[in-house]
Amino acid sequence: MKRISVTVNGVRHEAEVEPRTLLVYFIREQLGLTGTNVGCDTSSCGACTVHLNGQSVKSCTVLAVQADGQEVTTIEGLATNGKLHPMQQAFHEEHGLQCGFCTPGMIMAAVGIVDENPDPSEAEVREALEGNLCRCTGYHNIVRAVISGAKASV
């Protein structure tokens, strides 16, 4: 076992983990933050996307021990004082979800896209979402939501 200290959504957590524990399972099972989903477990679908030191990553492809001493933000960490993050609000208003399974990962990826490119075109959004799959295939509204969320985030 390894002792790690990870700051998740601004709160520091000290924990014992096996080195082979994937970050996503640490977040879901040890911290009980189940907003982050596991879709494919093969690094393809993006459902597990969280931010590691401010950058979007697939948490099924990061070890919890690699996050030792680092900062993680999950979907639960986006809202402030009970008010949805502009990107969450945009997904709500533009119907950017159907079953909602891909949504936490989509929103975390979307926030990452807008951090790097505050005013993305539709084509840029589609390209930057290439690591996130939606089995309900609601891509049109997802793309619309990201663009609207980008405008609301400035």
Residues binding another protein (CB under 8 A): 2, 18-20, 22, 25, 41-44, 46, 49, 52, 55-58, 61-63, 65-66, 68, 109, 112-113, 116, 127-128, 130-132
Residue 99 lies near ligand FES (rule: CB under 6 A): yes
Residue 55 lies near ligand FAD (rule: CB under 6 A): no
Binding ligand FES by CB under 6 A: which of 101, 124, 126, 141? 101
Q: Which positions ≥6 away from 55 have C-beta within 8 Å?
A: 112
Residue 130: count of CB within 10 angstroms of its CB: 9
Characterize 32-51 residue by residue with b for buried, 16 or more Cβ atoms within 10 angstroms of its Cβ, and e for exposed. Answer: ebebbbebeeeeebbbbbbb
Burial class (CB in 10 A: 0-12, 13-18, 19+), 107: buried
Binder of residue 97, out of ligand FAD, ligand FES, another protein, none (CB less than 5 to 8 A by kind): ligand FES
CA dist 81 and 4 (Å) reads 28
CB-nearer residue toward ligand FAD: 103 or 132: 132
Binding ligand FES by CB under 6 A: which of 8, 17, 45, 125? 45
